Amino acid sequence: MSENGNGNGTTGKKTFIIFSGEMDKVLAGFVLSNSAAAMGDEVTMFFTFWGLNALRKEHPPKTHGKSFLQTMFGMMMPRGPKKLALSHMNFAGVGPKLMSKAMRDQNVDCIDEMIATAQEQGIKMVACTMSMDVMGLKPEELIDGIEYAGAATYLSEADEANVNLFI
Amino acid sequence: MSENGNGNGTTGKKTFIIFSGEMDKVLAGFVLSNSAAAMGDEVTMFFTFWGLNALRKEHPPKTHGKSFLQTMFGMMMPRGPKKLALSHMNFAGVGPKLMSKAMRDQNVDCIDEMIATAQEQGIKMVACTMSMDVMGLKPEELIDGIEYAGAATYLSEADEANVNLFI
Amino acid sequence: MSENGNGNGTTGKKTFIIFSGEMDKVLAGFVLSNSAAAMGDEVTMFFTFWGLNALRKEHPPKTHGKSFLQTMFGMMMPRGPKKLALSHMNFAGVGPKLMSKAMRDQNVDCIDEMIATAQEQGIKMVACTMSMDVMGLKPEELIDGIEYAGAATYLSEADEANVNLFI
């Protein structure tokens, strides 16, 4: 069991902003979140900007009312955890496949398994509505079981937490 | 109104290190800072390394006493918020323009408007003097109304805050 | 002397996750860590993913039992602080050399000097065992005087700290 910074024996809440959509950083976010939840901490993950790509469905329903720019963003950004790039050694998409293989070899879960574990553990996953508006992502394009909110909600959650990271 | 981690009903101070000079990360920093200030929090933004580029004047006065290396850094680094690159989909500078357009379409302020709001709200913006020395940036090349300090000052501010992020 | 967030005059513990292996971010991590330690704070640096490259020996002993993938990762990733790339303006490795020169010109320590200072000051440097497993890095390939642990250990340390950053 973890103790919070006040040393009073209670577990502490944690928040993680998942800003980067790079596979390795998303992975780090889920490893920390799932570990904290397993230790009894309340965890909120706030997905914003490129981080939203980790929540996209691989085969989303058709959407309407997107601007040309938003359609273009939607087409160019990776759809879901299997399409994310690495921040280093990406090698036009070969890097993430090799990294996934190296993880499987060491019995480390891949990102979609980690997302499932996060949802099973009751981790609150929040999609940033302002980023969704700018990029033209609709709720039906993102996985089920998540919440939608803006920066003010994030800040209120962070105020209650004892560890807050921007990943 | 936000509450801080001690649950005593006071608002909490926030600090944000703006390390990356990428448009999307600088944007995230200002969205969080301006939201926190609007909720009544005291906010300090500490600009270091590439983050300093967000504070550069577009048309700085002529400076003297720079080394060849510092002159080169100065020429190659982006001058001010309109010149910042995106961390993904930069497309040789087209990406930031498209992102700015997508933001305007959704009534999201662009970075120079967010900087103005930050200054109006009394957010303390601090430029890291060690980074300025290394990169050869002089105070007269940066926008007015900011402060200058080093890592020790940042740490003292962070000690007083309940949310500290490295962006 | 710094005060912690509770305003009770004690110094606060700090933790820094060094995730990125980019020279500029590793540098920022050591500047903050060494400053905090100099101010009397207890500091833990947790090196994970590409951040581990900063801890690699330049001339490691021969290792056995690596998979093909791990051998490849080992060959392609930079060995030690002198080989790290910059996150911007890397210019195929010329950028870091110019940055190091600019730092020397301003009497700023280079990364291997900062690592030595960190160890002299008693900063706890921890290598992430899960990342080491995935990338196939063995303890004998990393510098001496460091510890080995996973995410749960990091979270327990962060729970005791008043400033936690992901760099």
Question: For residue C38, what is the enclosing H or E element?
Answer: helix C23-38
Contact flag C98-B17 (C-beta cutoff 8 Å): no
Cα B3 to Cα A165, B13, B40, C78: the distances in Å are 18, 10, 10, 44
Alpha helices per DSSP H over chain A: 23-38, 68-76, 94-105, 111-120, 129-135, 151-160
What integer pLDDT is reported at residue C6 of this predicted model? Answer: 40
B interface residues, C as partner, C-beta within 8 Å: 5-6, 17, 19-21, 48-50, 67, 69-70, 72-73, 76-77, 130, 133-136, 150-152, 154-156, 158-162, 164-166
Q: What is the rounded CA–CA span in Å between residue C124 and residue C105? A: 29
The tens place of each residue's pLDDT in chain B, 167 residues long, gives 333 444 433 469 999 999 999 999 999 999 999 999 999 999 999 999 999 999 999 899 988 889 888 888 888 889 998 889 888 878 777 788 888 888 888 888 889 999 999 999 999 999 999 999 999 999 999 999 999 999 999 999 999 999 999 99
Cβ distance C42 to C121 under 8 Å?
no
Task: Say whether B160 sits in a helix, a strand or coil.
Answer: helix
By CB atoms closer than 10 A (0-12, 13-18, 19+), residue C8 is exposed
CA angle A24, B30, B73 (to 5 degrees): 75
For residue B71, what are its two tokens? 């002159």
Q: Tokens 């499987």 identify what position?
A: A104
pLDDT at A11 over 80: no
What integer pLDDT is reported at residue C148 of this predicted model? Answer: 98
What integer pLDDT is reported at residue C86 of this predicted model? Answer: 86
Contact flag B32-A154 (C-beta cutoff 8 Å): yes
Strand blocks (E) in chain B: 14-18, 43-47, 124-128, 147-149, 163-166
How crowded is residue B107: how many other Cβ atoms within 10 Å of its Cβ? Answer: 7
Question: Which of C155, C162, C165 should we substitute to test contact with A (largest number of A Cβ atoms within 10 Å)?
Answer: C155
Cβ distance B26 to B18 under 8 Å?
yes
What integer pLDDT is reported at residue B27 of this predicted model? Answer: 95
Nearest-CA distance C126 → chain B (Å): 20
Among partner residues C77, C133, C158, which is closest to A106 by beta-carbon distance?
Answer: C133
For residue A138, what are its two tokens? 């609709």
Chains B, C: CB pairs < 8 Å: 80
pLDDT digits (tens, 9 = 90+) for C119-163: 999 999 999 999 999 999 999 999 999 999 999 999 999 999 999
Strand partners, A14: A43, A163
pLDDT digits (tens, 9 = 90+) for C13-48: 999 999 999 999 999 999 999 999 999 999 999 999
- Dihedrals phi, psi of A24, to nearest 5 degrees: -65, -35
C interface residues, A as partner, C-beta within 8 Å: 5-6, 17, 19-21, 48-50, 67, 69-70, 72-73, 76-77, 130, 133-136, 150-152, 154-156, 158-162, 164-166
Among partner residues B4, B24, B89, which is closest to A159 by beta-carbon distance?
Answer: B4
Q: What is the rounded CA–CA span in Å between residue A43 and residue A122? A: 8
Strands, sheet with C163-166, edge to edge from the N-terminal-most edge strand: C147-149, C124-128, C43-47, C14-18, C163-166
Strand partners, C166: C17
Predicted TM-score (pTM) of this structure: 0.92
Contact flag B50-C24 (C-beta cutoff 8 Å): yes
**What is the separation of C-alpha A94 from the centre of its chain, rounded to a whole number of angstroms?**
22
pLDDT digits (tens, 9 = 90+) for C97-109: 888 888 888 888 8
Task: Say whether C17 sits in a helix, a strand or coil.
Answer: strand
For residue A140, what are its two tokens? 């039906």
Contact flag B67-C3 (C-beta cutoff 8 Å): no
- Dihedrals phi, psi of B120, to nearest 5 degrees: -60, -35
Cβ distance C166 to C25 under 8 Å?
no
Contact flag A69-B105 (C-beta cutoff 8 Å): yes
What integer pLDDT is reported at residue B147 of this predicted model? Answer: 98
Q: Which chain A residues touch C162 with a CB distance below 8 Å?
A: 5
Question: Which of B22, B25, B27, B31 should we substitute to test contact with A (largest number of A Cβ atoms within 10 Å)?
Answer: B31
Closest-CA residue of chain C to A162: C159
CA angle C91, B148, C109 (to 5 degrees): 50
Q: Tokens 């904290």 identify what position?
A: A36
Q: Mean pLDDT in chain C?
A: 89
Q: Mean pLDDT in chain A?
A: 89
The helices-and-strands tally (H runs, E runs) of chain C is 6, 5
Cβ distance C19 to C9 under 8 Å?
no
Residue C155's nearest CA partner among C142, C166, C141, C144 is: C166
Closest-CA residue of chain B to C6: B160
Residue A20's nearest CA partner among B94, C76, C24, B28 is: B28
Q: Which chain A residues touch B99 with a CB distance below 8 Å?
A: 134
Cβ distance A22 to A88 under 8 Å?
no
For residue C31, what are its two tokens? 């500047």
pLDDT at C5 over 60: no
Closest-CA residue of chain C to A95: C73
Residue A23: what residue type?
M
Looking at per-residue confidence, does C71 or B18 come out higher?
Answer: B18
pLDDT digits (tens, 9 = 90+) for A94-138: 788 888 888 888 888 889 999 999 999 999 999 999 999 999 999
Contact flag A164-C160 (C-beta cutoff 8 Å): no
How crowded is residue C145: how many other Cβ atoms within 10 Å of its Cβ? Answer: 10
Cα A53 to Cα A16, A47, A49, C143: the distances in Å are 16, 9, 8, 37
